């Protein structure tokens, strides 16, 4: 069940990434909140991030037993741990962001997602 929560929360982040990649004025929620609309070079980064986010969603659902495994359980576990650590470090960066929108939206989102990845990894 935790893996579904983690996938859902990460899907929210992925949806936001899609919106900012296509020029929605939500840039204050991401990448330091410096831009209301991301410049084109940052949109390319957002698209790359989207692929990574979709991969992470697939991995956590596989680790939770909801999708067929692409990798061994051991590799899937390590990938989940990687994303857990990444998200928890990302939470620290979000917390210290100058953007209040990023601080109060992205910090809890990435923190809870990271915890979900960690719990899921430990239950494999």
Residue 58 to residue 17: CA distance in whole angstroms: 17
Residue 42 to residue 79: CA distance in whole angstroms: 26
Structure tokens at 38: 């991301």
The whole domain housing 60 covers 2-122
Instruction: Using the Cα atoms of residue 53, residue 58, residue 63 and residue 65 in order, give the sign of their dihedral.
Output: positive
- pTM value? 0.91
Cβ atoms of 90 and 70 within 8 Å: the answer is no
Our count of domains for the chain comes to 1
Per-residue pLDDT of the chain (124 residues; tens, 9 = 90+): 999 999 999 999 999 999 999 999 988 888 788 889 999 999 999 999 999 999 999 999 999 999 998 999 999 999 999 999 999 999 999 999 999 999 999 999 999 999 999 999 999 8
């Amino acid at each position: 069940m935790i893996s579904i929560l983690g996938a859902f929360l990460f899907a929210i982040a992925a949806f936001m990434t899609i919106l900012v990649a296509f020029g929605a004025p939500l840039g204050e929620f991401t990448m330091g909140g410096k831009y209301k609309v991301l410049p084109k070079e940052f949109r390319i980064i957002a698209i790359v991030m989207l692929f990574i986010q979709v991969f992470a969603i697939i991995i956590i659902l596989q680790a939770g037993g909801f999708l067929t495994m692409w990798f061994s359980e051991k590799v899937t576990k390590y990938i989940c741990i990687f994303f857990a650590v990444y998200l928890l470090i990302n939470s620290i960066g979000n917390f210290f962001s100058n953007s209040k929108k990023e601080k109060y939206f992205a910090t809890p989102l990435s923190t809870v997602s990271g915890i979900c990845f960690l719990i899921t990894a430990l239950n494999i």
